[in-house]
Structure 1
Amino acid sequence: MMRLQIFFSIFTSVICLDETYQNKRAKLLSDEFKLTLGGSLNLTDKEGEVNKCLMQYKNKELNYAFDHPEYYNLSHHFFTYKKKIRESKVYQIIKDLPKGAVLHVHDMGILGPDYLMNVTYMDKLYVCLSYPVQLRFAEKTPKLSCASSWQLMSEARRKTTNVTKFDLELRKLFTIVVDNPDVVYPSITQSWDVFMKYFLTVSQMLSHRPVWEQYFYDALKKFREDNIMYVEVRSILPNLYELDGTTYGQIVTAKAYRKAINRFMKDYPDFIGAKLIYAPPRKVDTEAVKIDLDLALEIKHNMPEHFAGFDLVGQEDKGKPLKDFVPQLETTAKELNYFFHAGETDWYGSLTDENLVDAILLGAKRLGHAYALPKHPLLMKEVIKNNIGLEVNVVSNTVLSLVRDLRNHPLSVFFANDLPVVLSSDDPGAWEADPITDDFYVAFMGVASKQSDLRMLKKLALNSLEYSALDNQSKNEALKRFNRKWDEFMKKFKCSSY
């Protein structure tokens, strides 16, 4: 009897110890989850129903990937799986979900090759088919240098024996997508070389004033169709031209944005709007930056309601570091909002990742990419202290060779610490991606915790409006509109529809 009592006493103690351990374990995991981006949000009953459906699909996909890692798409190059993800139930739900704003996108990289091919069928487009191919609208044959000869695009098509083949080859100039990306893009050098050639090819064609205005109008339409309600676009502000060769200054280009935005807002009053971030190249001297800053101030003075701020763009590893321009940038720091590209690099302790230091010291409102930020714990604390938004472009980072397996993306650190992340898409047209849904999907399924759910998606959308350049009144109105759209989606949602 005594032995039996001792046995039950030991058995009971073991159970109590096990329960204590399990309770501590569950509490640790629960407390940690609450620290993640969106982890502290509470879901309504209806949101809970939607979340249950979403997570069933998410877990099904990820459980299969865990058991069959060789088939996990997001560990490979984006070009190899971008079409496959359209079949995902999770993707389809995210596609329909209101997603707020896009705050980091470059104008000439928004619309893809199919749109650009339609532009090549417009009247009075001339082409120089020698390398590099040039495209320019004109009333008469352009006098610009051409190694072969300028001819109307319509004539070039008429002369070819196979128009389908001609167009397929032409289309390749408007995309960096290839069937064998691991061979074509073995390193960041090849990725960026082709990426830069893309912009050189499309810029002259798109800079025809009527085309430029229509292009941006159609870009806004594309964002709206992807359930985006506000956009901040970066532009180098190319000089626009007319058919007769008349060329305008950059102020006219900025005003062309205003014209397109106002026309779009009139046609689609549910859209919140768009603003311009003037973003000239960073590979210049200090005098050029001073001129650029003066232009930014002039644009702000001329169209304050459509102007967001200033940035410097281009491949960071090859461009001038921000520290070279500190004296010039300090002079306008109180007059301009800065949204600097900073830390878009795999290097650690280089001048490139130190751009993060200067961007923060110069008072940047948001950091573009901030890919190297987790290597700088003090800078992460400064980001939190100063409430600096982080414009993360996940698909861009994999396409431009910073990371391949998205489970290794530093965004996971940002998510885990509830940093002020804003998901954006950079240049989705160049790699034939959605305006923003692809980035949401790969971040949710490849970077975020398996446990991250609808709360994270909602927080990302809210962040995109909260860290925008909208004034407080407009921001509050935007948040109200978003919440209405969000609630409408929740009410209409049916899991069986997916």
Structure 2
Amino acid sequence: MRAVIFLLYFYSVYASDIDEYFDKRYKILKSESRLSLGGNVSLSDKEAAVNICLMHYKFKEVDYWFDNPRYFNCSRHYFNYKQYIKTSKVFRIIQDMPKGAALHVHDMGLLGPDYLMNITYQDNLYVCFDNNLHLIFANAPPKSPCDGKWQLMSKARSFSNNVTKFDADLRNHFTLFVKNPDTVYPSIRETWRAFMKFFFTVQPMLSYRPVWEQYFYDALKKFREDNIMYLEVRSILPNLYELDGTVYDPIVTAKTYKKVIKNFTKVHRDFFGAKLIYAPPRKVDRSKLEEYLELAKRIKQEMPDTFAGFDLVGQEDLGSPLIEFVPQLLESRKELNYFFHAGETDWYGTLTDENLVDAVLLGAKRLGHAYALPKHPQVLNEIIKKDIGLEVNVISNAVLSLVRDIRNHPLSAFLAHGLPVVLSSDDPGVWEADPLSEDFYIAFVAVASRLSDLRLLKQLAINSLKYSALDSISKDDALRKFNYKWNEFIDNFNCSKYQH
């Protein structure tokens, strides 16, 4: 009898310990879920129904990859799996979903090679082939230096004897995409050389004023078609020119943005608009930076409604670190909002890495990339305290050789800690990606938790407007219009549409 009582007591205590263990486990996981980005979003009944469909397809994809890791595409170079993304049902849902704003994009990287190829069929485009490709619009052969011979593109194409091959070779200058990326881009050095060469090639062609205006208008159209309602575009503000050789001041380039935005929103009433971030190259000295800052102040004075702020761009590892410009940037921060690229590096303890510290101390409103942030706990605390937006560009970071297996991207930690993340796409045209949907998709299925659902996607879209440079009244208006688009998407959602 005593043995029976002892056993009953033992099992009751054991059962109590087990219950307590699983209760603690449940509370930890529940707490982590609430802490994560989107964890406190409440879904309506209709949203919950959409979520069931979305997560059915997400689980199907992720669980297959978990069981068959050799088929997990996102552990390889983006160029090796990008063609499969569009077959995903999750991607198609995300494509149809309102995504708010794209806050980190560069003007000359917005549209892809096929669009740029169409420009090469326009009249008055001259081409010169030497070690590089040179393209300029003019009404007579350009006098720009080139080791080859300037000729009209139309004549060069017709004299090629094989137009198909000529165009295929020409197209390769307008994209980073290759079939063997591991061979062509063995390190960040080769990737960035190709990346900068792209801009060196396309800038003179795109800077022809009529082309520039049409290009930006069509870029807005492309982003709108991807269910984006607002943009903040970084630009080096190249000098636009005319066929007769007239060259304009960069302030004209800025005003061209304002003109195109006004014309586009007049036609497309559901598009909220766009703003300009002046973002010249960072590999300069202090005197050149002073010129940059003075131009930024001029632009703000002449078009305050369109101008958002100031940044410095280019490969951080090779450019001048922010600390070199602290006196001037401190002096100008009362007049200019900063949106600095910072921490776009794998190197720890370098001046590039420490750009994160200076960007926060200089009062940046958002940080571009912030890839190195997990290595800086004090900076992370400041970002949480000051609610500084983090502009994350997952495909860009993969293509530009910061990360290979996308599961290792620090965005996973950012999302887990509920940090103020905004997803963007950097230069989607350069790697032939959609304006924003592919970045959303990869972040959702390959970086975020398997359990992250529609609440995360909705919060990311809301964040893109919350952390924008819009004033408070415009921000409230943009959020109202987003909610209308979101509810329309939810009300019209039909899961059967994605079955095939």
Instruction: Please classify the TM superposition score into its range, dividing by the shorter chain length.
Output: over 0.9
C-alpha distance after superposition, 1:40-89 (max 9, x if no partner): 11111111111111111111111111111111011110001111011111
Find the counterpart in structure 2 of residue 145 from structure 1: 145
More displaced stretch, 228-237 vs 50-59: 50-59
Residue correspondence of structure 1 range 1-12 to structure 2 within 5 A: 3-12=3-12
Find the counterpart in structure 2 of residue 113 from structure 1: 113
Residue correspondence of structure 1 range 299-448 to structure 2 within 5 A: 299-448=299-448
1:17 CA drift (Å): 2.5
1:412 CA drift (Å): 1.1
Distance of 1:396 and 1:495 partners within structure 2: 31
Partner amino acid, structure 2, of 1:106:
H
Find the counterpart in structure 2 of residue 131 from structure 1: 131
Partner amino acid, structure 1, of 2:384:
I
C-alpha distance after superposition, 1:422-458 (max 9, x if no partner): 1110000000001111111111111111111111111
Find the counterpart in structure 2 of residue 212 from structure 1: 212
Partner amino acid, structure 1, of 2:11:
F
Q: Partner of 1:428: helix, strand, or coil?
A: coil
Find the counterpart in structure 1 of residue 155 from structure 2: 155
Find the counterpart in structure 1 of residue 76 from structure 2: 76
Find the counterpart in structure 1 of residue 59 from structure 2: 59
Distance of 1:24 and 1:319 partners within structure 2: 49
1:9 CA drift (Å): 4.0
How many residue pairs match? The answer is: 498
C-alpha distance after superposition, 1:372-422 (max 9, x if no partner): 011000000000111111011110000000000111111111111111101
Partner amino acid, structure 2, of 1:203:
Q
Identical-residue share of aligned pairs (%): 65
Q: Partner of 1:430: helix, strand, or coil?
A: coil
Determine if the alignment matches structure 1 residue 286 to structure 2 residue 273.
no
C-alpha distance after superposition, 1:250-271 (max 9, x if no partner): 0000011111111101110111
Q: Partner of 1:425: helix, strand, or coil?
A: coil
Distance of 1:248 and 1:371 partners within structure 2: 36
Q: Partner of 2:363: helix, strand, or coil?
A: coil
Distance of 2:482 and 2:383 partners within structure 1: 26
- Normalising by structure 2, we get a TM-score of 0.98
Q: Partner of 1:429: helix, strand, or coil?
A: coil
Distance of 1:32 and 1:468 partners within structure 2: 27
C-alpha distance after superposition, 1:196-232 (max 9, x if no partner): 0000000000000000000000000011001000000
Distance of 2:134 and 2:58 partners within structure 1: 45
More displaced stretch, 6-15 vs 328-337: 6-15
Distance of 2:24 and 2:330 partners within structure 1: 51
Distance of 2:9 and 2:88 partners within structure 1: 53
Q: Partner of 1:141: helix, strand, or coil?
A: coil
Find the counterpart in structure 1 of residue 474 from structure 2: 474
Find the counterpart in structure 1 of residue 95 from structure 2: 95
Distance of 1:130 and 1:344 partners within structure 2: 33
1:3 CA drift (Å): 4.3
Partner amino acid, structure 2, of 1:107:
D
1:13 CA drift (Å): 3.5
Q: Partner of 1:40: helix, strand, or coil?
A: coil
Partner amino acid, structure 2, of 1:121:
Y
Partner amino acid, structure 1, of 2:393:
N
CA RMSD in angstroms comes to 1.0
Partner amino acid, structure 1, of 2:482:
F
C-alpha distance after superposition, 1:162-220 (max 9, x if no partner): 10010000000000000010111010000000000000000000000000000000000
Find the counterpart in structure 1 of residue 32 from structure 2: 32
Residue correspondence of structure 1 range 14-29 to structure 2 within 5 A: 14-29=14-29
Q: Partner of 2:430: helix, strand, or coil?
A: helix
Partner amino acid, structure 1, of 2:390:
L
Partner amino acid, structure 1, of 2:206:
L
Distance of 2:3 and 2:413 partners within structure 1: 53
Q: Partner of 2:341: helix, strand, or coil?
A: strand
Distance of 2:177 and 2:123 partners within structure 1: 28
- Normalising by structure 1, we get a TM-score of 0.99
Distance of 1:144 and 1:315 partners within structure 2: 27
In structure 1, the gaps of 5 or more residues are: none
Q: Partner of 1:422: helix, strand, or coil?
A: strand
1:148 CA drift (Å): 1.7
Find the counterpart in structure 1 of residue 173 from structure 2: 173
Distance of 1:308 and 1:334 partners within structure 2: 14
